[in-house]
Amino acid sequence: MLTQAQRQFYEDNGYVVIPGLFSPAETARYRDHFMDLRREPRPEDDTEIVLTGNDPIKRYPRLIKPHKWDDVARHWMLEPRLFDCMTDLLGAEPYAAQTMVYFKPPGARGQALHQDNYYLRVHPGTCMAAWLALDDCDEHNGCLEIVPGSHKWDLLCTVDADTTISFTSVTIPIPPDAQTVPVRMRAGDVMFFNGSIAHGSQPNTTPDRFRRALIGHYVEGTSEQVSKGYQPLWRRDGSTLVLPQNEIEGSVCGVWVEIGGEPAIEMVGQELKVRRRGE
């Protein structure tokens, strides 16, 4: 389904954007559907967001795991186009683990740099995200930012984030020579990215533009462990399976050190600083 150039870009950089994977009509239906859902409290609403004052996120907190109770989210999570792309990138069919919807209204804070597999703890291998843009996104309304090539890093220990610009309270440090790049996308584009890649976003500084996204997290099909909060996993055909639970307290993570004048990651033991409900 993907071109050789797209597969090579993913291998080199840890992410790739597939333009127009979903049509404008499909994308609009998803956008309208989740805006309707967000008007009422929902099961498993997020409890890890750091809220302040008249924070716009109070009106539009992200939806966590809507596939558990919403048919539209579950059907999208199992969409064949997503599975086909990921199978091309991974070399084997993945399992679906969870869904999320981000709304990011005007004035909302961004999210500090993080690595998804720090939370999913997939092993062996890693997780993969499919990030569908429901709006055009750029630096002004807080598009995703990626550190190209960081998918080759080990999982890093977290440090405190600046919660004046991030709605989450932890981040990961990056060395001085590592650069984040904004990933501009059109509504209907899907970005696939490796679970170890460092990514985040800046605040939405526009007065009137949302930056909504529908996101799925997936597990490599050869994996044997995943954090228990992401069970059960889903096969493409809608059947479910459970992998052995991966206990994450006391997990090993990395810190930056200098070896021979170059930054390197040294692995240490550290408890997970942030826990999501059910983990």
Q: In the chain, which ranges are continuous DSSP H helix?
A: 4-13, 24-37, 71-77, 80-90, 117-120
% of the chain with per-residue pLDDT over 70: 90
Query: What is the distance between the alpha carbons of residues 168 and 94, in angstroms, rounded to a whole number?
Result: 28
* DSSP code per residue over 200-222: EE-----SS----EEEEEEE-TT
What CATH number did the domain enclosing 151 receive?
Answer: 2.60.120.620
Domain count, the chain: 1
User: Which residues have CB under 8 Å from 103's CB, separation 6+?
Assistant: 34, 35, 38, 57, 60, 61, 62, 210, 212
Assigned domain for 257 exists: no
Assigned domain for 266 exists: no
Inter-CA distances, 45 with 21, 58, 189, 273, 277, Å: 28, 12, 26, 20, 10
Question: Which pLDDT belongs to residue 128?
Answer: 98
Contact between 191 and 199 under an 8 Å Cβ cutoff? The reply is no
Assigned domain for 141 exists: yes
User: Which residues have CB under 8 Å from 54's CB, separation 6+?
Assistant: none
State residue 18 phi and psi, 5-degree precision: -105, 110
Q: Which helix (H) or strand (E) holds 265?
A: strand 262-269
Assigned domain for 261 exists: no
**For the segment 209-223, what is each residue's pLDDT rounded down to a tens digit?**
999 999 999 999 999
Question: Which pLDDT belongs to residue 52?
Answer: 66
Assigned domain for 252 exists: no
Question: Which pLDDT belongs to residue 44?
Answer: 61
Question: Which pLDDT belongs to residue 273?
Answer: 41
Q: At what angle do helices 80-90 and 4-13 cross, to 10 degrees?
A: 70
Assigned domain for 121 exists: yes
CA angle, residues 129, 141, 207, in degrees to nearest 5: 150
User: Which residues have CB under 8 Å from 36's CB, separation 6+?
Assistant: none
Assigned domain for 32 exists: yes
Structure tokens at 33: 């559907």
Contact between 104 and 63 under an 8 Å Cβ cutoff? The reply is no
Give the closest residue to 218 by CA, choosing from 89, 110, 114, 27. 89
Question: Which pLDDT belongs to residue 40?
Answer: 78
**For the segment 136-195, what is each residue's pLDDT rounded down to a tens digit?**
999 999 999 999 999 999 999 999 999 999 999 999 999 999 999 999 999 999 999 999
166 DSSP assignment: B
Question: Which pLDDT belongs to residue 277?
Answer: 28
3-state secondary structure of 180: coil
Length of the chain: 279
Question: Which pLDDT belongs to residue 278?
Answer: 31
Assigned domain for 227 exists: yes
Domain extent at residue 109:
4-247
**Which residues of the chain fall below pLDDT 70?**
42-52, 245-251, 270-279
Query: What is the distance between the alpha carbons of residues 164 and 161, in angstroms, rounded to a whole number?
Result: 9
